[in-house]
C-alpha cells in the first residue's frame, strides 16, 4: 500500500451517491436477473484487475455489495492504494446472485474511474519524487463526484487543492481583470476576510513576472499561482518570491515536462488532467455458481 488511506466508504455523501446511482440503474427492478435467475440463488464473484495501476474504490465496492445483500461474505485480497497488475484479484464475494448482479456495473464504474485517477496521480507524483514539490488536483471534477475523485488523487499520492469556492479565495485571471488588477483584487479580498471574520487562505493567479512583482507588494497572503509560465520563468518567479509565500505552477504541464517544473523549486504543481481526462483502469467482475 502506498500510504495510509482514509476510509470514506460510509461517508454520508458517498452513501448518497451510491444510493442515487443504484436507483438510477435499477429503477423498477433488474428484470434481466428477475426473469432468468431464482431469487435465492447463491453465487461467487471475483473482482479482477486487467490493467497495471493503483487500486482505488475497493471499500466502496464492498459497501455497494452490502447495500444490495447485507448477508454477502467478502474476502478482501487487495486494499485501496495497493499497486496492482494485470490478473490480480481485488476481492472475492459470495452472496445472493441478484445482489451481485445489481452491484456489478456501479462498483465497476466507480472503481475503474477512481483507480484511473489514482494511477495517473501516482505516475505524476513518482516523476517528481526526488523534489519537495507536491502534486495537486483542481476543481475540474465530475459534478457531484468531487469527494470521490479528490479522494482518489490522495490515494495515488497527490494532495488536494481547495474543494470548492467556499474553502479558499482563489483570484483567477477573470477576478483580477474585473476587479481592476492584482493589487485591487488582493486588497479587496483581504478586507473581505476581515469584514466577514473568515479564516481561509488567499491565492492569486499571475500571468507574468510583472504581475508576480505586483502581487508581492500586497503580502502577506498564502500563495501565488504561476499560470502558463515556462519552467525557466517559473524558476525566475520562485527566486523572486523567495519563500515569502507558497508557489504553485499550473497550465501547460504534462507528464513529460513535470520534472522540469519541479526543478524550479515551486512548492506545488496543479494538474487538471488528474480528473478531467483520465483513462479508466480496466477491471472486471466475474460471477460463477
CATH number at residue 160: 3.20.20.70
Looking at the structure, tell me whether residues 109 and 202 fall in a common domain.
no
Question: DSSP characters for 52-113?
Answer: -EE---HHHHHHHHHHH-TT-EEEE-S-TT-EE-TT-EEEEEEEEHHHHHHHHHHHHHHHHH
What is the number of structural domains in the chain? 2
Residues 19, 21, 23, 25: is their CA dihedral positive or negative? negative
Q: What is the DSSP letter of 254?
A: -
Those residues whose C-beta lies under 8 Å from the C-beta of residue 224, and which sit 6 or more positions away, are 203, 204, 206, 212, 215, 216, 237, 241, 245, 246, 247, 248
Same domain, 121 and 168: no
Claim to verify: residue 20 and residue 121 sit in the same structural domain:
yes
pTM score over 0.85: yes
Residue 29: partners with Cβ closer than 8 Å, 6 or more residues away: none
* Residue 106 located in a structural domain: yes
By residue range, what is the domain housing residue 217?
130-276
Examine the domain organization and report whether 24 and 73 are in the same domain.
Answer: yes
Residue among 172, 244, 279, 286 flagged as catalytic:
172
pLDDT, position 128: 98
Based on its alpha-carbon atoms, the radius of gyration of the chain, rounded to whole angstroms, reads 23
* Structural domain contains residue 3: no
Q: Is residue 6 domain-resident?
A: no
140 and 49 part of one domain: no
Residues 121 and 64 in one domain: yes
Q: What is the pLDDT of residue 289?
A: 80
Q: Quick one: which of 14, 114, 22 has its CA closest to 65?
A: 22
- Domain CATH code at residue 82: 3.90.1170.20
5 domain-assigned: no
Q: Judge whether 227 counts as a catalytic residue.
A: yes
Task: Please identify which of the residues 46, 127, 139, 140 carries the catalytic annotation.
Answer: 140
Told to judge if 140 belongs to the known catalytic residues of this protein, a careful annotator would answer yes
* Cβ count near 173 (within 10 Å): 14
**Is 271 found in the same domain as 143?**
yes
- Residue 253's pLDDT is 97
The answer to whether residues 176 and 254 belong to one domain is yes
* Cα separation, 263 vs 15, whole angstroms: 41
| Active-site residue identified among 46, 105, 134, 139 | 105
Q: Is residue 4 part of a domain?
A: no
User: Nearest-CA neighbor of 72 among 82, 81, 61?
Assistant: 61
Q: List per-residue pLDDT tens for the chain, 289 residues long.
A: 445 789 999 999 999 999 999 999 999 999 999 999 999 999 999 999 999 999 999 999 999 999 999 999 999 999 999 999 999 999 999 999 999 999 999 999 999 999 999 999 999 999 999 999 999 999 999 999 999 999 999 999 999 999 999 999 999 999 999 999 999 999 999 999 999 999 999 999 999 999 999 999 999 999 999 999 999 999 999 999 999 999 999 999 999 999 999 999 999 999 999 999 899 999 999 999 8
Q: Catalytic annotation on 19?
A: no
Within a domain: 169: yes
Is 172 labeled as catalytic in the residue annotation? Answer: yes
Do both 248 and 284 map to the same domain? no
| Catalytic residue chosen out of the listed positions 137, 211, 214, 227 | 227
Q: Is residue 233 part of a domain?
A: yes
1 inside domain: no
Rounded to the nearest 10 degrees, how much is the dihedral formed by the CA atoms of 68, 70, 76, 80?
60
* 161 and 270 together in one domain: yes
Cβ-contact 226, 234 below 8 angstroms: yes
pLDDT of residue 2: 47
Say whether both 146 and 236 belong to one domain.
yes
Which of 205, 214, 248, 267 is catalytic? The answer is 205
Residue 187 sits in the same domain as residue 267 = yes
User: Which pLDDT value is given to residue 5?
Assistant: 82
Residue-level pLDDT at 1? 46
Amino acid at each position: 500500500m502506498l500510504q495510509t488511506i482514509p476510509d470514506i466508504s460510509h461517508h454520508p455523501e458517498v452513501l448518497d451517491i451510491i444510493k442515487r446511482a443504484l436507483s438510477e440503474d435499477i429503477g423498477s427492478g433488474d428484470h434481466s436477473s428477475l426473469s432468468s435467475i431464482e431469487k435465492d440463488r447463491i453465487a461467487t464473484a471475483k473482482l479482477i484487475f486487467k490493467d497495471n495501476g493503483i487500486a482505488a474504490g475497493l471499500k466502496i465496492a464492498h459497501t455497494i455489495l452490502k447495500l444490495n445483500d447485507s448477508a454477502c461474505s467478502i474476502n478482501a485480497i487487495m486494499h485501496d492504494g495497493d499497486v496492482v497488475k494485470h490478473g490480480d484479484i481485488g476481492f472475492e464475494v459470495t452472496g445472493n446472485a441478484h445482489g451481485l448482479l445489481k452491484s456489478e456495473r456501479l462498483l465497476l464504474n466507480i472503481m475503474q474511474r477512481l483507480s484511473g485517477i489514482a494511477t495517473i496521480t501516482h505516475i505524476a507524483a513518482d516523476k517528481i519524487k526526488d523534489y519537495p514539490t507536491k502534486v495537486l488536483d483542481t476543481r475540474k471534477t465530475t459534478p457531484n463526484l468531487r469527494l470521490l475523485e479528490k479522494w482518489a488523487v490522495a490515494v495515488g499520492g497527490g494532495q488536494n487543492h481547495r474543494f470548492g469556492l467556499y474553502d479558499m479565495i482563489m483570484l483567477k485571471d477573470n477576478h483580477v481583470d474585473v476587479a481592476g488588477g492584482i493589487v485591487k483584487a488582493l486588497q479587496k479580498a483581504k478586507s473581505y476576510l476581515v469584514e466577514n471574520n473568515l479564516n481561509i487562505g488567499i491565492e492569486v493567479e499571475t500571468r507574468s513576472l510583472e504581475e508576480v512583482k505586483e502581487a508581492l507588494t500586497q503580502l502577506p497572503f498564502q500563495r501565488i499561482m504561476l499560470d502558463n509560465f515556462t519552467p525557466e520563468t517559473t524558476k525566475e518567479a520562485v527566486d523572486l518570491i523567495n519563500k515569502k509565500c507558497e508557489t504553485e505552477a499550473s497550465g501547460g504541464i504534462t507528464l513529460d515536462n513535470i520534472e522540469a517544473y519541479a526543478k524550479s523549486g515551486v512548492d506545488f504543481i496543479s494538474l487538471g488532467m488528474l480528473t478531467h481526462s483520465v483513462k479508466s483502469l480496466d477491471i472486471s467482475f466475474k460471477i460463477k455458481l
